[in-house]
Structure 1
Amino acid sequence: MATVELRFSAQPEHVRTARLVAAAVARRAGVDEAVLDEVRLAVGEACSRAVGLHRSNGITAPVRVVLTDEEKTFSIEVGDEVPVPTRASAPGAHGADGAAGQDAGDGDGEDEMGLAVISGLVDDVEVTSGEGGGVIRMSWPTTPETVLP
């Protein structure tokens, strides 16, 4: 199992770099070429969401992206450090159960749209949040390298 970890400051201009790194590592892991655009888009959405959460909550810690090449699966985890109590009290944020607050503002629509885009692009996606922050975990199947005779 090979793992690449990327950390970047919560600045929108770094999201593009995260997308490019994710696509390159996915290609090397054996993710089908036809799926690489989906990987790029899903990582972009997840990283943009994490950057937005960090910026709107004054979190200075970096956004974390972990890319893992397992035997038959390539997975990406995008993590933020915005704890559940802060998420629940922020306009447009979600609590641990993922339900929007009653007084959610415009940010809620963007958050929901980003998660909907990710869910539409990735068959295997899991969104969790806790005291240490939130994680979006996505995975894709890989094809084993064929050895030519």
Structure 2
Amino acid sequence: MATVELLFSALPEHVRTARLVAAAVARRAGVDEAVLDEVRLAVGEACSRAVGLHVSQEISSPVRVVLTEDEKKFSIEVADDAPHAISVAVATPGSAGTAPAADDAGGDGEDDMGLAVISGLVDDVEVSAGADGGLIRMSWPTTPASATP
């Protein structure tokens, strides 16, 4: 199981870098080429959400992105350190299009829209949030590398 960890300052310009790294690692992990745009967009939404939470709550710690590949799936975790007033845990494995529960971080609807976009793009997504921060876990199936003689 290979893992890449990316830490970046909560600045919008770093979201593009996270998207590019995620797409490169996903490609290497064996994610179908047709799905790479969805990976980029989902990572961009998750990272933009984390950056927005850090900026709005004046949190100086970095946004964390962990990219993990194994034999059957490629997973991405995007974590923020923003405290959420109540715990939220939503899992939508295999149910693309199911909108996650409302996030309590700002109540302005922007977070809800980003989470809805992510859940529409990713079949296997889990969103959790609590007093210590939030985490979005996403995964996509991989195609095993063909064995060379």
**TM-score, normalization: structure 2?**
0.86
CA distance in 2, matches of 1:39, 1:65: 13
Distance change in 2, residues 1:99/1:39 (3 Å): closer
Aligned pairs, number = 136
- Aligned-residue CA RMSD in angstroms? 1.5
Match of 1:130 in 2: 130
Structure 2 counterparts to residues 27-38 of structure 1, below 5 A: 27-38=27-38
Identity of aligned residues (%): 76
Match of 2:121 in 1: 121
SS of 2:109 mapped into structure 1: helix
Structure 2 counterparts to residues 16-35 of structure 1, below 5 A: 16-35=16-35
How far apart are residue 99 of structure 1 and its match? 4.2
1:45-88: CA deviation from partner (whole Å, max 9, x where unpaired): 0000000000000100000000000120100000000122xxx3
Answer yes or no: is 1:96 the counterpart of 2:87.
Answer: yes
SS of 1:137 mapped into structure 2: strand
CA distance in 2, matches of 1:133, 1:70: 26
CA distance in 2, matches of 1:70, 1:131: 31
Structure 2 counterparts to residues 1-149 of structure 1, below 5 A: 1-84=1-84, 88=85, 95-97=86-88, 98-99=101-102, 104=107, 108-149=108-149
How far apart are residue 129 of structure 1 and its match? 1.2
Q: Where do 5+ consecutive residues of structure 1 fail to align?
A: 89-94
Distance change in 2, residues 1:110/1:17 (3 Å): same
CA distance in 1, matches of 2:83, 2:103: 15
CA distance in 1, matches of 2:116, 2:103: 14
**TM-score, normalization: structure 1?**
0.86
Match of 2:98 in 1: none
Instruction: In structure 1, give the amino acid aligned to 2:113.
Output: M
Which has the larger Rg? 1
